[in-house]
């Protein structure tokens, strides 16, 4: 049985670990808030870029109809409904401390993989973040 001194030492170690964990959670929350605010600031810019691209494509379509010419668009702007090969880009964190984010990412990716397998389509996975690499290294 552990002595009183050993129990006190263990109790102090647990308290110290709890303080460190709490501090790490506060830092993670602060970083998350900064990233969220940066994303909100860029939302307007992304919307403007999307609208500009939509206007350009609309002008292409109008020009094709009025002048009876055909534009050769880049492959990324084409129709992908019958695509056979897919690249799944998975973003995750480098460490834990982000709640269930990594688990939710993994569930979404696995769901997409199962859908692609049912449709007999091939896929590759590009992982950004240590956790994603650990989860999907068997597919790489």
Instruction: Give the model's pLDDT for residue 79.
Output: 67
pLDDT at 3: 84
User: What pLDDT shows up at residue 108?
Assistant: 94
How many other CB atoms are found less than 10 A from the CB of residue 140?
Answer: 9
Which of 140, 132, 137, 139 minimizes the C-alpha distance to 98? 132
CA dihedral of 3, 6, 8, 10, whole degrees rounded to 10: -140
Q: Where are the domains of the chain?
A: 1-73, 79-140
Query: Annotated active-site positions, please?
Result: 98
The model's pLDDT over 17-44, given as tens digits with 9 standing for 90+, comes to 999 999 998 998 888 888 888 888 888 8
pLDDT at 1: 58
Q: Return the DSSP state at 110.
A: H
- Residuewise pLDDT in 10s, the chain (140 residues): 578 888 889 999 999 999 999 999 899 888 888 888 888 888 888 889 889 988 988 888 888 888 888 777 777 666 677 788 889 999 988 876 677 888 899 999 999 999 999 999 999 999 998 888 888 888 76
pLDDT given at position 59: 86
pLDDT at 113: 94
pLDDT of residue 97: 67
What DSSP letter does each residue of 15-27 carry, written as one string?
HHHHHHHHHHHHH
Q: In whole angstroms, what is the distance from residue 36 CA to residue 74 CA?
A: 33
**pTM for the model:** 0.53
pLDDT of residue 63: 84
121: number of CA atoms within 13 Å, CB side?
A: 17
């Amino acid at each position: 049985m552990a002595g009183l001194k050993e129990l006190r030492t263990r109790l102090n170690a647990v308290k110290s670990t709890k303080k460190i964990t709490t501090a790490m959670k506060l830092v993670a929350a602060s970083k998350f808030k900064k990233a969220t605010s940066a994303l909100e600031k860029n939302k307007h810019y992304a919307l403007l870029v999307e609208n500009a691209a939509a206007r350009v494509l609309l002008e292409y379509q109008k020009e094709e109809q009025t002048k009876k010419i055909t534009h050769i668009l880049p492959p990324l702007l084409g129709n992908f409904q019958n695509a056979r090969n897919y690249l799944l880009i998975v973003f995750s964190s480098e460490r834990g401390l982000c709640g269930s984010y990594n688990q939710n990412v993994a569930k979404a990716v696995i769901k997409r993989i199962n859908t692609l397998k049912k449709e007999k389509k091939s896929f590759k996975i590009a992982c950004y973040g240590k956790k994603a690499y650990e989860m999907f290294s068997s597919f790489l």
